[in-house]
Structure formats: structure tokens, C-alpha cells
Structure 1
Amino acid sequence: MNGPQAPEGIDPKGIERWFLEHVEDVTLPLLFERISGGRSNLTFGVADAEGRRWVLRRPPLHSTLPSAHDMEREHRIQAALAVTPVPVPMMSGHCADESVSGAEFYVMERVDGLVVRDRASAVPLDESARRVASHDLIDILVALHNVDPDEVGLGDLARRDAYIERQLKRWHGQWTAQKTRDLPAMDEAHRLLAERVPPQGPARIVHGDYRLDNVLLSNTGKVRAVLDWELCTLGDPLADVGMLLVYWSEAEDTVDPLGDSATREPGFATRAELVDRYRAGTGIQADLDFYVAFAYWRLAAILEGVYARHIAGAYGEVDEEVQRYGEVVEALAAEAHCLLVR
């Protein structure tokens, strides 16, 4: 934690006043740190004078799209899931008053755990723990997709019909609004996806960005908390499976969205094993090729937005990883197009 100088995006005095009114057992002063990771909404660690710790989430500093960074929605989803088998941090509160710290935000408990993103971060897990993580990740996804949205108060989170069509419209619109150059593969993939939307079953809770590095793991590989719910909605659960498979790179892959994915290391399950376990848990046997192509295309649109916002300075300093996003977007668009025309 840093000293009196708070990170950009944090008003220490305003947030301290809010904590005193809304969070139990707080001893001032509060210290703040920008937590690494998080390519859209900003994530900060908060600690009080007694060492108690929380996490604060807020939108980017500027250059946001309407409805793209809804803090109340994120808070609501995780609070609702607290009564389900899906592990989420305990919510402390949501602040809609932008005068407190320049933007709305919410606060939750800080869960200890490993974020496993690249090969180096996978080192603390032995091969047995990596296998556990692979299986637990799928089992929790099955549990999420088995949650009845109405039973947890999320039945009105979003429309339930035409999920894929709505996603295609949304992300094509955001691509058009934020693209930094023209990519014919993106436009052609969008056209082919729109023509081939499969029949969709009952709408379930869809995380929207479900992958290994959006969970916190114990040293034995168990998932301690699922994070980053900003893209969560109601829709076709197979979209989550497609996205997970796109991020789950294997040793021989030429396209790796993360650049050096941890899942290339020995011990992690193969994509085929993940699919088999998900099908066994849900009974869903649908072909997944469309959903993988859709995930490649959608991720390209998402990363283009992140890339554009970084160029505009919405996250402060631009790190080296984001500098390569332009090339990653092109590779993802090409992969989506190839899957659709093969």
C-alpha cells in the first residue's frame, strides 16, 4: 500500500467518509493501492489502520461508453450469487454518489488467492493442483449455469431472448464506435455469425468473461472466488464455454490471447477434457464451433475497446502488454473468420 498520495481515481477523504458510514469495523486512515490486472474497470486495494482489507472497483478515468461500466450492476450480481455454490467475494456496499470520489464505486472483501495468468504465475501450482483448478473451474461454471436467475433475484437483469443476436449487435456497435482501423475479417465474421445463429435454450446467468485468470485459486488449485462480473448478463450459457476455450491455450496453438497462457503448462486439462466435463455436468451436447468463433470475434471487439481506451489515457499509464493488443485483435479476428469459412 502506498502512503498519503492516493492513486489517480481515488479521493481519500471522500472514500474515508463513505467507509465510516457504510462499512463496519473501520479504523482510519485508509491506504490505497492500484491492483494490477483489470483491463476495463479500475480495481484498488484498500486497507485500514488495523490491517483490514477490501477491494474497491470504479469505472475508467474517462472515455467510457454508455452503460459499459455499471458498478451497481456488478455489485448486485455478486450479492445475489452469495447464496449459491458460486464463490464470490462478500459485498460491503455500493456508492452511486459521484461526488464522493469522482465516479460511482463499490466495495467488497479482499479474498486471498493466486491469479494464474501466464506460465510464470502457474509455478506455485504443481501438476496435481493444475488439474484440480481445471476441474473446479468447469464445475463452478456448471454451478453458475444451473442457477435459476429468478430464484436469486436476477430474473430482470436482462432480456432473455435472442442473446447471441443482441451480443452481435452490441459488440459490432462498440467495435464500430471504438475501432482504431478497419479490419475486413471482423466485418465478414460478423456477417457470417449473424447468418448462422443456432437455436438457443433457456436463458441462464452468463459470466461473460469466464477464464482462469478471472478467478482466485488456493495453493491446491481450488477456486476461492470468481471475479470480474462486468460483462455478466442473461443468455446462452454456451457463450461462456466458447470464451473459456478461446482463452485456454494449448502448447501447439499459434493464437494465444494472453501471449503466454498458463494453460500451456503440464497438468492443466486439455480443451477437449474441459468440454467433456462441462457436458457431463450439464447434459448439453450442442456443437461448440459457432460459440468458439463467436468468442474469438467478441474478444477481438472487447480488446479493441480496451486498446482504444488505453491510447486515450483512460487507465493512466499504458503498459507494454496493452501495446500488443492491436496485433492480438487482428489475430483473433482472423481466427474467427477462419473457423466460419472452413
Structure 2
Amino acid sequence: MTGTTAPAGIDPVTVGRWIEDRFGAADVTYTVLSIGRSNLTYTVEVDGKPRWVLRRPPLGHTGGSAHNVAREGRIMAALGPTDVPVTNVLEIVDDPAVMEVPFVFMDHCPGFPINTPEDWARIPDADKRDTAFGMIDTLAAIHRVDVDAVGLTDLRRPGGLIERQLRRWLGQFEQITQRDIPEIKEVHDVLAAEMPEAADSFIGIAHGDYKPNNMIFAPDGTINAVVDWELTAIGEVLTDLGYFIAMLTTPDEHTSIWVPRPEHGFPTKAELIARYEEQSGITASNVNYYAAFAMWKLACIREGVYTRLITGQMGDLDFDPEEAGAGVEQLAKQALTILKEEN
């Protein structure tokens, strides 16, 4: 039987018994992965080597699609046969005898995310531009997926994605926040007034959090897997491109996320947009609007992470609550700045 200690969120007895019964491994250990600050992700090791990954909702989670790991696991499983690189889902478990919440159990994917300049430096300089364009090519592959052909038809919802998410994220922000940040409502109102018509936008799978630290890279910069599908929805796919582009111009201190920029060997905004149009066949119009929307949504998400951290609902992740909470107001102001820029 597996050991009796594990990070918060894992019962080593019940989960260990399930792993032993299902996969024959009788002695496993668990470590917290740093990828993602919402759903909790753990590496499951056998003989000190990564073997599997377990993903579960945050501690204290009581519902809502944003942390629905069964839904996330189903999306990854559906994308497995496509051109989109994803981790191999083994089981989607919903059994209170094993864990009080559903969880996804998948193969461990080798490689590393890009969280820091040191991570980016692991990729040879000669491969950096190709790596960046590979991120865009992979995004285009996601957007080209036929939703109905992969069995995700039921994820479609009435109305446009932006319309739904403006309503949803503002509601969640107002419900969870313990601070007064009026800029969130101010930006919401501008985005609602200037929203492009959904009927004029290409509709497909929108990842919802597409950035370099949600990808697993091989040493040569090849993308082994795209991870963190918890915010995925069917809707205007340019929300992903806008988010990706916005990360190139938003100060690191506002996002707490380091991303490579043109001065680090990354292509320019214009080059990335041109590559996306070439690979996807989709005209990338109103990119600044989608970038501003992404910054506003990120501000709402960060406020949620901050609140869960200060209320002890994020397990024992080593992450400073004040760091998470800082920059929410600045992100909202950044969204207003982007809206005023020319495409």
C-alpha cells in the first residue's frame, strides 16, 4: 500500500489504493506541480520518477464549469486523436470512495513549461523563432478542430462567448471578491458596448488561457502538450489570439507571468498575426478588442485566485497571496489602454 503522507487535496490511502488496483503500483509519492493556479495538479511518482499526473478542483470548490475537471479531461481526451498535442488521459474518476471530488488521471508528459527567462534560455537561440511560430501553429490547429467531429457538440451554448463570459466573469468577480475594485465594472461596460458581432466571428474551440506556461516543451522547442483546458469553451476563437498577443505588451509585474518578447527572440505582433492567418485561414480582425477582453478576464481570474489563497482553498501551493492580488486594477487599466490602440 502507498505511503500515508501527501500534499493537501490528496488522501494517500484511498487514492493510493485506487492506483494500486488500477495500475499495480503499490508505492507512489505525490508532488505539487507549479503549472496552473486554479485546479490543483500533482505529479504521481513511482520509484522517484514521474509516471502520472492527477488533476482535481481547488480545495473547497463547490461547483461551476471553470473548475470542472471531468469536463476538462473530456476535452483533452476528445482532442487526443487530432493534430493538437495533449496529454494522454487515462481515467476520469468520479467516485467519492476514492476522492470527494472528480479528478483526471493522465500519463506524465516529459518536458518543461516556459515560466521564466531561464526556461526560455533552455531552447537554443537558433530554434526560438520556430518555437514561437510553433505556438501559433498549435493555436491554429486547436481552432481548426471540428467541434462536432470530436464529439464536443454539447459544449456549444446560446449566444456569443464574449457576451456569456462578460456576464459570467463579472458575476463571479462580484461574488468572490473581498475588495473594492471599480475598474472591473468600468472595463466590463466598455467591452460590452464595443463587442463585435458573434455572427461575424469564427466559432470553434477557444482554449481560454493560451500562453507559454500552459504548454510543455521539448528541449528543441517542440510543443509536447498544451495543458490547463479548464477555461475552454466553444466560441470566438480570436479570444485566444488576443490573449496571446496581449501577453507580449503587458508588463510582467501586472500579470505575474513571464513571457518571451521580441527582444528575447520572439516574433513581432504583426508577424504572429500574419502566421496565424496563414495557418488557420481565419482573418484576425479586431485583435486589440480581444486582447483587452483577455486582460480584463485575467484580472477577474487573478482576483479569484487571490481570494482562494487568502481563504486557504489552494492547498499548500507555494504562492504569495499578495503577489496574486497585486495588479488586478492595473490589468483592468491595461485593457482600457489596449482598446484605445489601433489594430
Pairwise same-fold verdict (TM > 0.5):
yes
Asked whether 1:54 is paired with 2:62, we answer no
Residue 228 of structure 1: CA displacement?
Answer: 0.3
Asked whether 1:206 is paired with 2:206, we answer yes
Aligned equivalent of 1:325: 324
Asked whether 1:140 is paired with 2:175, we answer no
Amino acid at match of 2:11: D
Residue 63 of structure 1: CA displacement?
Answer: 5.0
Aligned Cα root-mean-square deviation (Å)? 2.2
Paired residues in the alignment total 337
Residue 46 of structure 1: CA displacement?
Answer: 0.7
Structure 2 unaligned regions, length at least 5: none
Amino acid at match of 1:8: A
1:168-211: CA deviation from partner (whole Å, max 9, x where unpaired): 01101111112232222211110111111112234201101001
CA distance in 1, matches of 2:111, 2:64: 33
Aligned equivalent of 1:179: 177
CA distance in 2, matches of 1:341, 1:244: 18
Aligned equivalent of 2:238: 238
Structure 1 unaligned regions, length at least 5: none
Aligned partners of 1:119 and 1:263 also within 8 Å: no
CA distance in 1, matches of 2:284, 2:244: 17
Helix, strand or coil for the counterpart of 2:284? coil
Aligned equivalent of 1:293: 292
Amino acid at match of 1:14: T
Aligned partners of 2:58 and 2:313 also within 8 Å: yes
2:66 aligned residue (65, 68, 74): 68
CA distance in 2, matches of 1:98, 1:271: 47
Residue 285 of structure 1: CA displacement?
Answer: 3.5
CA distance in 1, matches of 2:323, 2:25: 42
CA distance in 2, matches of 1:83, 1:151: 11
CA distance in 2, matches of 1:7, 1:71: 19
CA distance in 1, matches of 2:154, 2:252: 40
Amino acid at match of 1:324: E
Amino acid at match of 1:296: M
Residue 122 of structure 1: CA displacement?
Answer: 1.6
The change in CA–CA distance for 1:318 and 1:148 in structure 2 (over 3 A counts) is closer
Residue 328 of structure 1: CA displacement?
Answer: 1.5
Aligned equivalent of 1:82: 80
Amino acid at match of 1:175: F
CA distance in 2, matches of 1:137, 1:274: 10
Asked whether 1:337 is paired with 2:325, we answer no
Residue 68 of structure 1: CA displacement?
Answer: 2.9
Helix, strand or coil for the counterpart of 1:33? strand
CA distance in 1, matches of 2:317, 2:338: 32
Aligned partners of 2:32 and 2:317 also within 8 Å: no
Residue 109 of structure 1: CA displacement?
Answer: 0.5
Aligned partners of 1:129 and 1:219 also within 8 Å: no
Amino acid at match of 2:207: H
Amino acid at match of 1:9: G
Aligned partners of 1:245 and 1:292 also within 8 Å: yes
CA distance in 2, matches of 1:288, 1:222: 26
Aligned partners of 1:216 and 1:224 also within 8 Å: yes
The change in CA–CA distance for 1:317 and 1:332 in structure 2 (over 3 A counts) is same
CA distance in 2, matches of 1:150, 1:301: 30
Aligned partners of 1:4 and 1:31 also within 8 Å: no
Aligned equivalent of 1:267: 265
Between 124-133 and 6-15, report the one with greater CA deviation. Answer: 124-133
2:37 aligned residue (36, 39, 49): 39
The change in CA–CA distance for 1:122 and 1:293 in structure 2 (over 3 A counts) is same
TM-score by length of structure 2 reads: 0.91
Helix, strand or coil for the counterpart of 2:216? strand
Aligned equivalent of 1:27: 25
Helix, strand or coil for the counterpart of 2:101? coil
Aligned partners of 1:189 and 1:297 also within 8 Å: yes
1:270-305: CA deviation from partner (whole Å, max 9, x where unpaired): 222211111222231312111011111111011110
